[in-house]
Amino acid sequence: MSQFYNDAIFWIEVDRIKPNPFQPRREFDETQLRALADSIRQYGVLQALVVTRKEVEKPEGGIATEYELVAGERRLRASKLAGLSQVPALIRTTEDSDLMKLELAIIENIQREDLNAVDRAYAFDRLAKEFNFTHAEIGKKVGKSREYVSNTLRILTLPEHIRTALTEGKITEGHTRPLMMLVDRPEEQETLFKEIIFKKLNVREAEGIARHIAVERARKLIDHELIEIEDQFKEKLGTRVRIEKREEGGRVTIDFFNKEDLRALLERIAAENAALGNESASQAAEIANATPLEVVENAPVLTEEERIMAEDKPKEDDEDESLYSVSNFSI
């Protein structure tokens, strides 16, 4: 027996169709919805929605028929925008479980490539957590490899603002790979994310930077002092600083996003130097302005015996003066 009623298409009132509670899509682009609505006004709904049918008893008596959407939420929303009162739908004959509703919604969206990377990751996460599917089982159901599922789920380890940028199309799914390489280094991850946005880095360039950071970090694990100095540079300058150690000497690389950042770095260094100069000048002035009383107060305290010995000790300066005195010369 067919899974649909006589394989026939029924016209159902849009207000009687309840949304799928397991719809994996979270974002619906309003511009694209309006464009689809314009197309529906002109040509109608070319692909039928899929719904389930359920008969329930009314509180006041009698039977009411309810419909729940399985696939086609974007078409349903656009149909409402277009002002349609009815939409074509296929009615599934089987009573679908929650798992089946989620599975069908995910598969339909993936086959139509309607899910963005973040929504797809959340959908896979629900299949794994709520229904105990392994990554391999999820991959089999959606026609993807286990590695594809695992890599997609790793997107959820990224900070929320990076996931939002991915959803909004500010970065691509390819950019998430180098960002995830730095998931245990949040400061460097954030700096790379900003570079991707402001410098318009492509995926290859971003991967090169992330790989370089990973290699340099591993190389510096044996030199804790170098890591500490690098971290101090980062804290002082507020940007990523890389120290590359060579057999003799090395190189310090300071990242910046624009001319304003570069000028701000220069002003910060100048301010630090000025502050150090003022501190040195202040110390010199303090010493120059010291009174004899202050000098005496800071002198070492002598015992009575040490004082007598100091007074009895002949003074070399006086001896030198008497040596070259006129009274010591005769004609």
CA–CA distance, 262 with 240 (Å, rounded to integer): 13
* Cα–Cα separations (whole angstroms), residue 172 to 31, 52, 90, 109, 164: 20, 36, 35, 19, 11
| Distance in angstroms (rounded) separating the CA atoms of residues 287 and 208 | 55
Q: Phi then psi for 159, rounded to 5 degrees?
A: -60, 155
Q: How many CB atoms lie within 10 A of CB 133?
A: 19
Q: Nearest-CA neighbor of 67 among 2, 10, 1, 7?
A: 10
Q: Of 179, 204, 207, 216, whose CA–CA distance to 194 is shortest? A: 179
Spell out a b/e string for 286-298, using b for 16 or more CB atoms within 10 Å of the CB, else e.
eeeeeeeeeeeee
73 in catalytic set: yes
Q: Which of 27, 57, 68, 73 is catalytic?
A: 73
**Cα-based angle 131, 137, 139 (whole degrees, multiple of 5):** 115
Closest CA to 84 of 12, 9, 34: 12
CA-CA distance, 123 to 111, in Å (whole number)?
Answer: 14
Cα angle, residue 160 at apex, residues 154 and 163 outer, rounded to 5°: 60
Q: How far apart are CA 290 and CA 275, in angstroms?
A: 23
Whether 89 contacts 73, CB under 8 Å: no
- φ, ψ of residue 241 in degrees (nearest 5): -125, 130
* H helix or E strand, kind and range, residue 202: none
Tell me the catalytic residues. 73
